[in-house]
Amino acid sequence: MNGRLTIIGLGPGDDRFVTPEARDALASAEALYGYGPYLDRVPRRDGQARHSSGNRVEGARAEAALNHAAGGAHVAMVSGGDPGVFAMAAAVCGEIEAGPPEWRTLDIVVVPGITAMLAVAARAGAPLGHDFCAISLSDNLKPWDLIERRLDAAASGGFVIALYNPISKARPWQLGEAFKRLARHLSSSTPVIFGRAVGREDEAVTITTLDEAGDAKADMATLVIVGSPETRLITREGRAPLVYTPRTSAEASA
């Protein structure tokens, strides 16, 4: 049997986002690898080994799973959200490129999942209804001045901006600096959405403005969406507002 490594996205939160393709791939794997809290979301099955690891050892986790698959097994790597967005699929590819030639003979299958920005956007309305981008604020893997240049390019270019990895204990100031940087290009009333733990019991979605965003709470489970100059708020009595970005640019009628 040819070895196979399937990299599976569970989506955020609970099982409501787990696609049939992901469910079937989980059921057919001989062994599961993944960050502990993601593995904990997968029901235990008799005879299916589980290899849990921490959230800072992506390379070692990918290497272990590839070695296992190279022995002819069907192995699955479990990821939250979508495995291709700032997650394990790129880590696995990096290990394959640097690794032994036999890893290139494996079946590599990626199963997409609902990524956090789609789930958070859905809770708020349709903020990603027009051109948008996704930027990771983690400066562990790239220099901060590159992040600032991308924030400049995105905001001045009229993109809605989804910020992944906005904050952590080791990176406490980056999100605040990002808001200051974006304020060079965007008005203080630009809508900003904080979506925390969407799909979980402790879900919290906060809609604020760029001016006030620095005071809102964020943590590692938070995804932040910053509107473009065209993003709008629809107020509703007794309900949260709807935030959306029209499909038609205002410049289209100019």
Q: Which residues contact 237 (CB under 8 A, 6 or more apart)?
A: none
Touching a second copy, residues 219-238 (CB under 8 A): 232, 234-237
- Please select the residue that binds a second copy; options are 41, 50, 150, 181, rule is CB under 8 A: 150
- Which pair of structure tokens corresponds to residue 227? 């509107």
159/215 Cα distance (integer angstroms): 23
Q: Which residues, listed in sequence order, are joined to residue 161 by a DSSP beta bridge? A: 133, 226
Residue 203 Cβ vs a second copy, minimum distance, rounded to whole Å: 13
Q: Does 191 bind a second copy (CB under 8 A)?
A: no
Touching a second copy, residues 20-39 (CB under 8 A): 20-21, 24
Interface with a second copy by CB under 8 A: which range of 47-55, 142-150, 170-178, 209-217? Answer: 142-150
User: Look-up: residue for tokens 């270019």?
Assistant: 157
Q: Does 80 bind a second copy (CB under 8 A)?
A: no
Q: Does 244 bind a second copy (CB under 8 A)?
A: yes
- Please select the residue that binds a second copy; options are 149, 180, 200, 217, rule is CB under 8 A: 149
- Please select the residue that binds a second copy; options are 34, 113, 166, 195, rule is CB under 8 A: 113
252/2 Cα distance (integer angstroms): 53
Q: Does 136 bind a second copy (CB under 8 A)?
A: yes
242/161 Cα distance (integer angstroms): 17
Touching a second copy, residues 38-77 (CB under 8 A): 58
Sign of CA dihedral 199, 202, 207, 212: negative
Q: Is the CB of 187 or the CB of 248 nearer to a second copy?
A: 248
- Please select the residue that binds a second copy; options are 65, 119, 193, 226, rule is CB under 8 A: 119
33/10 Cα distance (integer angstroms): 13
Q: Does 154 bind a second copy (CB under 8 A)?
A: yes
CA dihedral 72, 79, 24, 118 (to 10 degrees): -150
Residue 63 Cβ vs a second copy, minimum distance, rounded to whole Å: 15
53/189 Cα distance (integer angstroms): 42
